[in-house]
Chain A
Amino acid sequence: MNDTGSIATPVAPFATVKKPPSPSALSNALVFGWRAVLKFRHVPEQLFDLVMTPIMFTLLFTFVFGGALAGSPREYLHFFLPGILVQTVVFNAVYSGMGLSADLGKGLFDRFRSLPVWSLAPFAGLMVGDVLRHLIAATIILSIGLILGYRPDAGVLGVLAAFALLVAIGFGMGWVFMLLGLLIRTPTTVMTLGFTFLFPLVFASNTMVAPATMPGWLRAFVEVNPVSLMTTAIRGLMNGGASLGDVALALVAPVVLTALIAPTILWLYRRQ
């Protein structure tokens, strides 16, 4: 490829090009969302990272432990699949923090910040990417569940409601890792910290097993663990029997996190 730096007759680009009318904040945010979509097209392997662990968990738990835990793999899958969806979405949130950290490290955000655009548009774009990521990953896991014999008792509507709640959960958890991504300039450190924090949270919950056989102190934690509350709600929505209270409890952590961390992030970003 030509790398002599020779420039063709410099007419068009150097002729003065005026700024078109300023686009709206929404339009800015959508452009950043488009960037997230392009990322999926160019780096499809990121999807592999997202779904490989949950797929392995699903297969492993269903066929290795399922019989022992719930009598039969099929019965266990009924219990476990909604939980693995919560786990997938919560783990996914780490990746948006990693992406932000990588972007900031490369100076890409310097360009965005020196543009006359709505200063929060890049974050809105990240959120669009996150929502897509959550939906794609959850759809893949659900499809595998369906193939393995999972049947949602609450039907299509229940599944749709569960997906809406999953997106809200992912949105709320996403802020934690965006904050880490903003503060830590090494993407792998963001990942390590993220998983160190998430592993106990996800495992010490009712995602994989009912807490009935756990020691009392652990059960006390599991019962208030936000991941348990989310799993209970998603399980209820998909398998039937969810109450409005379950959904509200599941939303407590995402709402609190959004209310606390989103303003912090905006403040940090503007101050930097």
Chain B
Amino acid sequence: MNYSASLTNVATVEEHASIAISARGLVKRFGAVPAVNGIDLEVRRGMIFAILGPNGAGKTTLMRMLATLTAPDEGAAAVMGHDLIAEPHAVRSVIAMTGQFASLDEDLTGRENLLLLARLWGFRGREAKARADDLLAAFDLSDAASRQVKSYSGGMRRRLDIAASLVVTPGVLFLDEPTTGLDPNARQGVWRMIRDLAEAGVTILLTTQYLEEADQLADRIAVLNRGCKIAEGSSRELKTAIGSGFLHVVIADPARLDEAARVLEACLGGSPRHGAEGAELSIIARQPAEANAALSALLAKGIKLSSFSMGSPSLEEVFFALTGSDVETDAGDKA
């Protein structure tokens, strides 16, 4: 495979051993439509790597390919040194995946779910029971161990689902949107758990739609849009590239919107993004002082604002900054 040849060219053996996931030119089409359209990825061991993107960007498809659940149409990849296509069984023995939808048996109890997996991994009798109970205790589920999973709350399900991925410590843990649908408290809990795991040496590849989540957790972030990687770097690198501060203004008189856009452009550089609400504009402002100057300029022209705010960019704004166009989603519900 020419992929392994190119790998030896770029990486010494030592570097090779420190790489958890390396992928070259992964492509997956559903019909004629490419869900993933030629993605390269390199994830170092022990790292938390986030794949950030809107619905339909190809995050889940990319992750499913790396977890051996979907065969790529083109490209090659290795996980912990095992070739994805040639040795899927070896890859499966070093990974674990927690899908977007709880992959638990709702009819069974929490303990039975873990026992089932422990036995499938090859733990026997008492060993399997001990492993299940350890995990239940560590994930604060001992009290609920004998209840059917269908009675669990969203946060408890997520915890059990992640616990189910840790029956045997994986080399790489795939987490597909680990906090989607969780309340803020439960989300904090999952974040803490992810950090603890990374500290214990587990490489974590997670997908998320939340910029904040990637920012909080990840050592490195890849931004996906329509099947392509449009940016990659540490949170700080991306912020430097994109601008960490965004100024949002809502113009009181929509007739003067274009004029206001020109003023902002003149003060801050770059073109402002028009918000969904009509008279709303947002633009990168690297410093609060710059934002202040821009606001003063608007007021000096007599352009009244009904509101303004300064904050971190939303995922939509990141996409606008990176691609110059708005996020296109299939359903439009998260746009």
Contacts and interface: CB of A to CB of B under 8 A. Distances in A.
B121 A16 contact: no
A7 B163 CA distance: 11
A116 interface: yes
A31 B119 contact: yes
Interface string A143-170: 0000000000000000000000000000
Interface stretch (B192-200, B257-265, B316-324): B192-200
Interface in A28-46: 28, 31, 34-35, 38-39, 42-43
Contacts of B26: none
A106 B155 contact: no
Given A13-B134, A13-B166, A42-B108, A106 B101 contact: yes
Nearest to A40: B107
Nearest to B97: A114
Given A19-B122, A113-B69, A7 B139 contact: yes
B107 A20 contact: no
B39 interface: no
Interface in B60-114: 64, 67-71, 89-90, 92-93, 95-97, 99-109, 112
A4 B186 contact: yes
Nearest to A117: B120
A114 B95 contact: yes
A108 B200 CA distance: 27
B138 A17 contact: no
What's the interface size class on A, roughly? Answer: 35 or more
A20 B99 contact: no
B200 A114 contact: no
Nearest to B123: A20
B1 to A, nearest CB: 21
Interface in B147-198: 148, 153, 155-156, 159, 163-164, 166-169, 182, 185-190, 192-193, 196-197
B135 A13 contact: yes
A36 to B, nearest CB: 11
A11 interface: yes
A161 B47 CA distance: 61
Contacts of B105: 35, 103, 108
Given A106-B106, A115-B121, A2 B97 contact: no
Contact of A7 (B69, B96, B144, B193): B193
Contact of A111 (B97, B108, B189): B97
A35 B114 CA distance: 12
A22 B123 CA distance: 9
A13 B192 CA distance: 14
Interface in B276-318: none
B117 interface: yes
Contacts of A112: 120
A272 B123 CA distance: 28
A181 B270 CA distance: 53
Contacts of A117: 120
Interface residue SS majority, chain A = loop
Contact of A114 (B90, B96, B186): B96
B137 interface: yes
A141 B92 CA distance: 44
Contacts of B121: 19-20, 23, 115-116
Contact of A13 (B69, B102, B139, B201): B139
A224 to B, nearest CB: 40
B14 interface: no
B42 interface: no
A23 B122 contact: yes
A107 B68 CA distance: 14
A107 B102 CA distance: 7
A8 interface: yes
A5 B104 contact: no
B131 interface: yes
B253 interface: no
B139 A2 contact: no
Given A5-B189, A9-B138, A12-B134, 6 more contacts: A3-B156, A5-B193, A13-B135, A13-B139, A14-B166, A23-B120
24 contacts: A1-B156, A4-B189, A5-B188, A6-B189, A7-B140, A10-B138, A10-B193, A10-B200, A13-B134, A13-B138, A14-B166, A16-B200, A16-B201, A17-B166, A18-B168, A18-B169, A106-B104, A107-B100, A108-B103, A114-B97, A115-B92, A116-B90, A116-B92, A117-B120
Q: Lowest 7 A-B CB distances belong to which pairs?
A: A5-B189, A111-B103, A13-B138, A20-B122, A116-B93, A14-B200, A116-B92
